[in-house]
Structure 1
Amino acid sequence: MFDVLPRGLLIVLLALAGPSFALDREALLDEANLLLLPRERALPSIELIDQNGQPFNTDALRGRWHILFFGFTACPDICPTTLSDMRRLFGRLPAETREQLQLVLVSADPARDTPQQLKTYLDYYRAGFGGLTGEMQQLQRLSKALGLPFVPARETQGNYSVSHSGNLALVAPDGTLRGHIRAPLNLEGLQQALPQVIESER
């Protein structure tokens, strides 16, 4: 019977069936487009500014799980879609998993993305998302460390765009990079995989 079911539905059914159906970890991660690194990667100490205008150091990522991605508030497609999808995902996660996760939008467009602009933009989603901006050099250092590339705009006047990755980075409570959530986002897969990844670290 199982061989005629779509893969995503099969994974959900097996999860609901309980521990007697041990899910294959790799299949679960693959379904979620979640690539875990074979070894954790330390992040450098980088000084930025959060959406409240307060100094922020990457050392502050310690203590809980973070999902970070690069974007900008004037983005016409990738960023609003990602934030909307992540809001839906967080709403579906078990409370104990949701409490351990923080989503952070890191600006790839600091010329326009002031802390106040980030705050106004993120408040629209009413999901408690965080935002970071700062000097371009520091933002590029973090981009490289997280493996989330973006191309700074050559012109910062008028209606311009910024090319950036649609992937997200997963940072563990010890402050190390643990993996990437690859675009396009698979919300059903992530709903199953993220609690298992987080629980495995406890």
Structure 2
Amino acid sequence: MFRNVIVVMLSAGAVVAGVMLYLLWQHQPLPEKALVYPQPRNLSEFKLLDQDSAVRSRADLMDKWTLAFVGYTFCPDICPLTLAKLAGVRDELAVSVDKPLQIWFISVDPQRDTPQQLKQYVDYFKQPALSGLTAGHDQLFPFVRELGLMYAMSSTTEQDYLVDHSASVVLINPQGQVAAIFKPDMLPGEVPLVNREQLLSDFPLVLNQLQNQ
């Protein structure tokens, strides 16, 4: 009889502990400026050319975390400011993950952004984990679309043209899947940019959500 009582008490205790853990998980803080996809999204195979003229593919995403951002080197504001922030916080973010963290700057302006131009550009940020990549639009467009980002080329024949593109930063997991997206601040009259402090705050919360999927 006594043994049965102990078994019942232990079972009840396990149920209570489980309920408490569930409630704690339900009340965990959520990232403020990031969206975690309920199901990570697979990327199709692709081929990009980096700043050293080396071919990069989906295999280069495996066993690494990747922050991906699209833009172009002639961008007057969003790109240099965003890349400066990513390059600056990369080492702080890297301590939160157990695999290498790399940054991919994907130029959607292959006409002007040759590997040589990309190398000169990314070298300025002095961040070894930062790579500049590009390709023809036949590769770029579907790849950027699968990232959940966008770009639109100008139809002008002028050499000094602008390219519309997303200002969000995508997080790709070590399985080569799009896992989350960090959104920029959208303030009237200001350049849309990912907030540095918000990124540092949201990053561990995003990882926590991914671990609990």
Instruction: Tell me how far apart the structure 2 counterparts of residues 171 and 187 of structure 1 sit (CA, whole Å).
Output: 19
Deviation at 1:42, TM superposition (A): 0.4
User: Quick one: structure 1 residues 23 and 125, their matched pair in 2 at CA, closer, same or farther if it must change by over 3 Å?
Assistant: farther
Partner of 1:118: 118
Equivalent residues in 2 for 1:33-44 (5 A)?
33-44=33-44
Deviation at 1:95, TM superposition (A): 3.6
Deviation at 1:41, TM superposition (A): 0.5
Equivalent residues of 1:75, 1:161 under 8 A apart: yes
Q: CA RMSD in A?
A: 2.4
User: Quick one: structure 1 residues 179 and 57, their matched pair in 2 at CA, closer, same or farther if it must change by over 3 Å?
Assistant: same
**Structure 1 residues 190-199 or 156-165, which shifts more?**
190-199
**Residue 194 (structure 1) aligned to one of 194, 203, 213:** 203
Max Rg structure: 2
Q: Any gaps of 5 or more consecutive residues in structure 1? A: 1-20
Instruction: Tell me how far apart the structure 2 counterparts of residues 140 and 102 of structure 1 sit (CA, whole Å).
Output: 22
| Percent of matched pairs sharing the same residue | 33
Partner of 1:165: 166
Letter of the 1:166 counterpart: A
Equivalent residues of 1:167, 1:181 under 8 A apart: yes
| SS in structure 2 at match of 1:93 | helix
Instruction: Tell me how far apart the structure 1 counterparts of residues 198 and 98 of structure 2 sit (CA, whole Å).
Output: 16
Instruction: Tell me how far apart the structure 2 counterparts of residues 187 and 28 of structure 1 sit (CA, whole Å).
Output: 17
Give me the TM-score of the superposition, normalised by structure 1: 0.79
Q: Between Structure 1 and Structure 2, how many residues are aligned?
A: 179
Equivalent residues of 2:172, 2:179 under 8 A apart: yes
Equivalent residues of 2:63, 2:99 under 8 A apart: no
| SS in structure 1 at match of 2:69 | strand
Q: Does 1:79 align with 2:88?
A: no
User: Quick one: structure 1 residues 201 and 59, their matched pair in 2 at CA, closer, same or farther if it must change by over 3 Å?
Assistant: farther
Equivalent residues of 2:48, 2:139 under 8 A apart: yes
**Residue 29 (structure 1) aligned to one of 28, 31, 34:** 31
Partner of 1:138: 139
Partner of 2:11: none
Deviation at 1:142, TM superposition (A): 0.6
Instruction: Tell me how far apart the structure 1 counterparts of residues 69 and 38 of structure 2 sit (CA, whole Å).
Output: 21
Letter of the 1:66 counterpart: T
Instruction: Tell me how far apart the structure 1 counterparts of residues 50 and 157 of structure 2 sit (CA, whole Å).
Output: 21
Q: Does 1:63 align with 2:80?
A: no
Q: Any gaps of 5 or more consecutive residues in structure 2? A: 1-23, 186-193
Partner of 2:20: none
Q: Does 1:108 align with 2:117?
A: no
**Structure 1 residues 66-75 or 145-154, which shifts more?**
145-154
Instruction: Tell me how far apart the structure 1 counterparts of residues 36 and 211 of structure 2 sit (CA, whole Å).
Output: 13
